[in-house]
Chain A
Amino acid sequence: MNELNNDSHYYEIAVSQFNSVTPGNIFKPYYLHPAESYFDWFEADRLVEFCQNNNKRLHGHTLIWHNQLPDWIMNFQGSQSEWELMFKEHIQTICLHFKGKVKSWDVVNEAINDNGTLRNTIWKQKIGNSYIEKAFRYAHEADPDAFLFYNDYDIALNETKRKAILSLLNNLRQRGVTVHGIGMQMHISVVHPENHQIAAALKELSENDFKIHLSEVDISLNPLSREFELTEELLERQANKLAAITLLYKEIPSRYQYGITFWGVSDRNSWIREHFNRDDYPLLFDDNYNPKPVYCKFKETL
């Protein structure tokens, strides 16, 4: 929201170039639910207003994650049933508040380890393995019209993880749980994953009847955090990578294409530089909000 409020270039591009919005942080519990009996809707409601005024689809990210939790949740004292009640109230209060305004939710984020096992999150520890099923049930109960997604990274690169996610979600469906789709976080680089790995993932997810959201797309040019010089060749590789992915995405049946979401607008807004403390240029627009080759080729390929 800071960029939308304070940066006119960002605002103009957000309005003119995109038809869907995913908040990077402000829908996470740390921001939205900072105290046990208090929800801070201010920033999130402003984003809703922006989306309504500019006809943007709003994707909620994320209801349940193990990171960016407020201290009160981390220190919550209670029995399993009290944890479950708090968990349910958290999900349903948020879903009800945004009912009709948020089109879809990342209900659970990053619950599977790289080796395919269930991540030992605080939710798993306190509520048990069934917390994922419960999260989807509570979200659907609160807003039956919203599309519900499971969102995770390395789904293309890590076949073991992909199969574990599919197994988990198919099992939930067999138990009558509503799960509409899978968010494939695409924090990738020009090096990995190979295009054929992305193709395999798209094919497998769509064949399992899940909508696919290419979420959190950024294409790193410097994945190994080396001394770095930005070259034309690297920018062209980035453009080719996104174009190849877009071609693949267009080949899955349209009913499974939920959308492509970039994890920021310009390179200056990317989380990568700060998080990994490295020089990188992963997004569609450069630091001065000029379109990069990746933007031009993406537009041609769409």
Chain B
Amino acid sequence: MKKILVIFMFTLVFLTGKIYSQIALSYYPFQSVLSVSSNTDKLLWPDLRIETNTFFSNINLEFNAMVNLKRTDWVNYYSGLGININPFYGLEDLPFTNGYVLCAGVRVKPVQKHKNLQVVFELSPYFNKYFDGGMVRTLLGISYNL
């Protein structure tokens, strides 16, 4: 069952890439997180984050559903909900789900001629799956709508 779930998640990621013709790539260097999203200027956009520069058994994935609360020429304000999982834990008979995330952030477009280039700052509290622990995370990164 766990293996099927892993395959399902990777299929979902692949299909997401197919469905959305325009994608955004973001990198958060302080957290070593790489993110792939659909066009972040749309009202709704999904976002997949991958923890990098870590052990295989710690490559956590985070799926977020984001909504732009306000969009201007200079900045988008967004919020969203997400789930943080570890696909490798599924293979080791460990809990697939790590926890849940609530996101609130801004995507600033500092160069008007290149609005696809964005600086991202996000506050995203994380709760473990039992909701008895967690942490307040902040993310700072750079993004580009391809």
On A, residues with C-beta under 8 Å from B are 191-192, 194-196, 199-200, 202-203, 237, 240, 243-244, 247-248, 251-252, 301
Contact = CB atoms under 8 A, between A and B. Distances in A.
Q: Is the interface of B mostly helix, strand, loop or mixed?
A: loop
Interface stretch (B1-9, B49-57, B69-77): B49-57
Contact of B60 (A191, A196, A203, A301): A196
Interface string B113-137: 0000000000000101010110100
Contacts of A191: 128, 130, 132-133
Interface size class of B (residues with CB under 8 A): 20 to 34
Interface string B44-86: 0000000101111110100000000000000000000000001
Given A191-B128, A191-B133, A237-B130, A199 B92 contact: no
Nearest to B32: A200
A77 B57 CA distance: 53
B89 A203 contact: no
B98 interface: yes
Contacts of A243: 92, 94
B54 A240 contact: no
A251 B133 CA distance: 26
B94 A192 contact: no
B54 A196 contact: yes
A252 B89 CA distance: 17
B110 interface: no
Contacts of B94: 240, 243-244
A139 to B, nearest CB: 32
Contacts of B29: none
Contact of A247 (B57, B128, B132): B57
5 contacts: A199-B58, A240-B94, A243-B94, A244-B57, A248-B58
Contacts of B132: 191
Interface of B: 51, 53-58, 60, 86, 89, 92, 94-95, 98, 126, 128, 130, 132-133, 135
A159 to B, nearest CB: 11
A301 B92 CA distance: 8
A29 B101 CA distance: 47
Contact of A194 (B55, B130, B135): B135
Contacts of A192: 133
Nearest to A237: B130
Which of B55, B60, B128 is packed against the most chain A CB atoms within 10 Å?
A: B55
A301 B128 CA distance: 22
A301 B86 CA distance: 17
A203 B32 CA distance: 13
A247 B133 CA distance: 22
Given A194-B135, A196-B51, A240 B57 contact: no
B128 A194 contact: yes
A281 B61 CA distance: 31
Given A192-B133, A243-B92, A200 B128 contact: no
A233 B112 CA distance: 53
A240 B55 contact: no
A231 to B, nearest CB: 12
Nearest to B60: A196
Contact of A240 (B95, B126, B133, B135): B95
A203 B55 contact: yes
Contacts of B56: 251
A203 B54 contact: yes
A196 B58 contact: yes
B92 A247 contact: yes
Nearest to A239: B94
A126 B126 CA distance: 45
B55 A248 contact: yes
A195 B126 CA distance: 13
Given A243-B92, A243-B94, A199 B55 contact: yes
Contacts of B53: 203
A240 B58 CA distance: 14
